[in-house]
Amino acid sequence: MALAFLTVVYEAGLDRQGETAMNTCPCGSGNDYAACCEPFINGKKPAATAEQLMRARYAAHVKVEVDFLYDSTHPDYREGYDHKGTRAWAENSEWHGLEILETVQGGEEDEEGEVVFVARFRDEKGLRSHHERAQFKRKGKRWLFTEGIMIKSPPLNVNKVGRNDPCSCGSGRKYKKCCGR
Protein backbone atom coordinates (compact mmCIF):
# COMPACT_ATOMS: atom_id res chain seq x y z
CA MET A 1 0.00 0.00 0.00
CA ALA A 2 2.73 2.47 0.97
CA LEU A 3 4.76 1.63 -2.15
CA ALA A 4 1.70 2.22 -4.34
CA PHE A 5 1.14 5.59 -2.63
CA LEU A 6 4.76 6.61 -3.17
CA THR A 7 4.49 5.63 -6.83
CA VAL A 8 1.35 7.76 -7.23
CA VAL A 9 3.03 10.68 -5.44
CA TYR A 10 6.09 10.38 -7.66
CA GLU A 11 4.07 10.09 -10.88
CA ALA A 12 1.89 13.03 -9.89
CA GLY A 13 5.00 15.18 -9.55
CA LEU A 14 4.73 15.64 -5.80
CA ASP A 15 7.70 15.81 -3.48
CA ARG A 16 7.88 14.28 0.00
CA GLN A 17 6.12 17.32 1.47
CA GLY A 18 3.23 16.97 -0.98
CA GLU A 19 4.15 20.00 -3.05
CA THR A 20 3.64 19.97 -6.80
CA ALA A 21 6.20 20.25 -9.55
CA MET A 22 9.19 18.15 -8.54
CA ASN A 23 11.40 20.15 -10.90
CA THR A 24 10.53 23.55 -9.45
CA CYS A 25 13.53 25.05 -7.69
CA PRO A 26 13.19 25.01 -3.89
CA CYS A 27 14.62 28.55 -3.70
CA GLY A 28 11.18 30.00 -4.37
CA SER A 29 11.98 31.64 -7.71
CA GLY A 30 9.30 29.60 -9.48
CA ASN A 31 11.85 28.51 -12.09
CA ASP A 32 12.86 24.98 -13.01
CA TYR A 33 15.61 23.67 -10.71
CA ALA A 34 17.84 22.70 -13.67
CA ALA A 35 17.74 26.28 -14.99
CA CYS A 36 17.86 28.00 -11.60
CA CYS A 37 20.08 26.84 -8.72
CA GLU A 38 21.32 23.47 -9.96
CA PRO A 39 24.05 24.94 -12.26
CA PHE A 40 25.45 26.88 -9.28
CA ILE A 41 25.33 23.86 -6.97
CA ASN A 42 26.98 21.47 -9.43
CA GLY A 43 29.66 24.05 -10.36
CA LYS A 44 28.65 24.56 -13.99
CA LYS A 45 28.41 28.33 -13.52
CA PRO A 46 29.01 30.84 -10.73
CA ALA A 47 26.21 32.85 -9.15
CA ALA A 48 26.12 36.34 -10.68
CA THR A 49 24.77 38.00 -7.51
CA ALA A 50 24.84 37.49 -3.77
CA GLU A 51 21.09 36.80 -3.81
CA GLN A 52 21.53 34.05 -6.41
CA LEU A 53 24.14 32.44 -4.17
CA MET A 54 21.85 32.76 -1.14
CA ARG A 55 19.02 31.07 -3.05
CA ALA A 56 21.39 28.31 -4.20
CA ARG A 57 22.59 27.77 -0.62
CA TYR A 58 18.98 27.34 0.53
CA ALA A 59 18.33 24.90 -2.34
CA ALA A 60 21.50 23.04 -1.31
CA HIS A 61 20.06 22.57 2.19
CA VAL A 62 16.85 21.19 0.70
CA LYS A 63 18.77 18.88 -1.67
CA VAL A 64 21.37 18.00 1.04
CA GLU A 65 24.26 19.24 -1.11
CA VAL A 66 26.56 19.99 1.83
CA ASP A 67 29.75 20.01 -0.27
CA PHE A 68 28.36 23.06 -2.10
CA LEU A 69 27.60 24.74 1.22
CA TYR A 70 31.23 24.29 2.24
CA ASP A 71 32.65 25.25 -1.17
CA SER A 72 30.50 28.40 -1.36
CA THR A 73 31.81 29.60 2.02
CA HIS A 74 34.74 32.02 1.79
CA PRO A 75 38.00 30.21 2.76
CA ASP A 76 38.73 32.82 5.45
CA TYR A 77 35.43 31.89 7.18
CA ARG A 78 35.51 28.07 7.03
CA GLU A 79 37.13 27.50 10.41
CA GLY A 80 34.74 25.60 12.65
CA TYR A 81 32.49 24.52 9.77
CA ASP A 82 30.61 21.41 10.91
CA HIS A 83 30.15 19.26 7.81
CA LYS A 84 28.53 16.40 9.70
CA GLY A 85 26.17 18.68 11.67
CA THR A 86 25.17 20.57 8.52
CA ARG A 87 24.36 17.29 6.77
CA ALA A 88 22.28 16.08 9.74
CA TRP A 89 20.35 19.38 9.89
CA ALA A 90 19.66 19.32 6.14
CA GLU A 91 18.62 15.65 6.11
CA ASN A 92 16.46 15.82 9.24
CA SER A 93 14.59 19.00 8.34
CA GLU A 94 11.52 19.39 6.20
CA TRP A 95 12.05 22.62 4.28
CA HIS A 96 9.07 24.96 3.87
CA GLY A 97 10.41 27.91 1.92
CA LEU A 98 12.78 30.81 1.60
CA GLU A 99 11.75 34.44 1.81
CA ILE A 100 14.23 37.11 0.75
CA LEU A 101 13.42 40.25 2.75
CA GLU A 102 16.18 42.59 1.62
CA THR A 103 19.26 42.67 -0.58
CA VAL A 104 21.90 45.38 -0.10
CA GLN A 105 24.50 45.63 -2.87
CA GLY A 106 25.64 42.15 -3.97
CA GLY A 107 25.06 42.91 -7.65
CA GLU A 108 27.13 41.85 -10.62
CA GLU A 109 29.47 44.86 -10.25
CA ASP A 110 29.72 44.86 -6.42
CA GLU A 111 32.44 43.30 -4.27
CA GLU A 112 30.32 42.83 -1.13
CA GLY A 113 26.68 42.17 -0.47
CA GLU A 114 24.12 41.40 2.17
CA VAL A 115 20.94 39.33 1.94
CA VAL A 116 18.35 39.30 4.72
CA PHE A 117 16.20 36.19 4.59
CA VAL A 118 13.91 33.85 6.49
CA ALA A 119 14.16 30.10 5.86
CA ARG A 120 11.24 28.08 7.22
CA PHE A 121 11.59 24.43 8.17
CA ARG A 122 10.26 21.72 10.45
CA ASP A 123 12.51 19.62 12.65
CA GLU A 124 11.93 17.42 15.71
CA LYS A 125 11.07 20.55 17.74
CA GLY A 126 8.33 21.65 15.34
CA LEU A 127 7.89 24.41 12.77
CA ARG A 128 10.74 26.93 12.96
CA SER A 129 12.21 29.84 11.07
CA HIS A 130 15.83 30.88 10.58
CA HIS A 131 16.04 34.70 10.19
CA GLU A 132 19.51 35.84 9.16
CA ARG A 133 21.47 38.77 7.72
CA ALA A 134 23.93 36.94 5.45
CA GLN A 135 27.17 38.61 4.35
CA PHE A 136 28.86 37.84 1.02
CA LYS A 137 32.16 38.80 -0.62
CA ARG A 138 33.37 38.31 -4.13
CA LYS A 139 36.64 36.44 -4.58
CA GLY A 140 37.73 36.72 -8.18
CA LYS A 141 34.54 36.23 -10.16
CA ARG A 142 32.84 34.10 -7.50
CA TRP A 143 30.43 35.20 -4.79
CA LEU A 144 31.12 33.50 -1.45
CA PHE A 145 29.27 33.46 1.86
CA THR A 146 31.26 34.92 4.74
CA GLU A 147 29.06 35.01 7.81
CA GLY A 148 25.49 35.15 9.00
CA ILE A 149 24.10 37.29 11.78
CA MET A 150 20.97 35.89 13.38
CA ILE A 151 18.09 38.33 13.68
CA LYS A 152 15.94 37.88 16.74
CA SER A 153 12.24 38.53 16.56
CA PRO A 154 11.20 41.78 18.22
CA PRO A 155 9.53 41.33 21.59
CA LEU A 156 5.77 41.30 21.64
CA ASN A 157 4.19 44.44 23.01
CA VAL A 158 1.05 43.72 24.95
CA ASN A 159 -1.06 46.58 26.19
CA LYS A 160 -2.45 45.51 29.50
CA VAL A 161 -5.98 46.66 30.13
CA GLY A 162 -6.50 48.05 33.63
CA ARG A 163 -9.58 47.08 35.64
CA ASN A 164 -11.04 50.59 35.38
CA ASP A 165 -10.17 51.12 31.70
CA PRO A 166 -12.91 50.94 29.06
CA CYS A 167 -13.41 47.37 27.85
CA SER A 168 -11.56 46.57 24.63
CA CYS A 169 -14.68 44.84 23.21
CA GLY A 170 -16.24 48.25 22.55
CA SER A 171 -19.23 47.89 24.89
CA GLY A 172 -18.49 51.20 26.63
CA ARG A 173 -18.45 49.51 30.04
CA LYS A 174 -15.47 49.24 32.35
CA TYR A 175 -13.29 46.20 31.73
CA LYS A 176 -13.91 44.85 35.26
CA LYS A 177 -17.69 44.93 34.70
CA CYS A 178 -17.51 43.39 31.19
CA CYS A 179 -14.92 41.00 29.78
CA GLY A 180 -12.70 41.13 32.89
CA ARG A 181 -15.10 39.10 35.01
pLDDT of residue 20: 41
pLDDT of residue 4: 36
Contacts of 75 (CB under 8 A, 6+ apart): 139, 144
pLDDT of residue 47: 97
pLDDT of residue 157: 65
Give 54-100 pLDDT, tens digit per residue.
Answer: 999 999 999 999 999 999 999 999 999 999 999 999 999 999 999 99
Cα 125 vs. chain centroid, distance in angstroms?
17
Integer Cα distance of 105 and 124 in angstroms:
36
pLDDT tens, residue order, the chain (181 aa): 333 333 333 333 334 444 445 689 999 999 999 999 999 999 999 999 999 999 999 999 999 999 999 999 999 999 999 999 999 999 999 999 999 999 999 999 999 999 999 999 999 999 999 999 999 999 999 999 999 999 987 666 667 777 788 887 778 888 788 887 7
pLDDT of residue 22: 65
Integer Cα distance of 68 and 57 in angstroms:
8
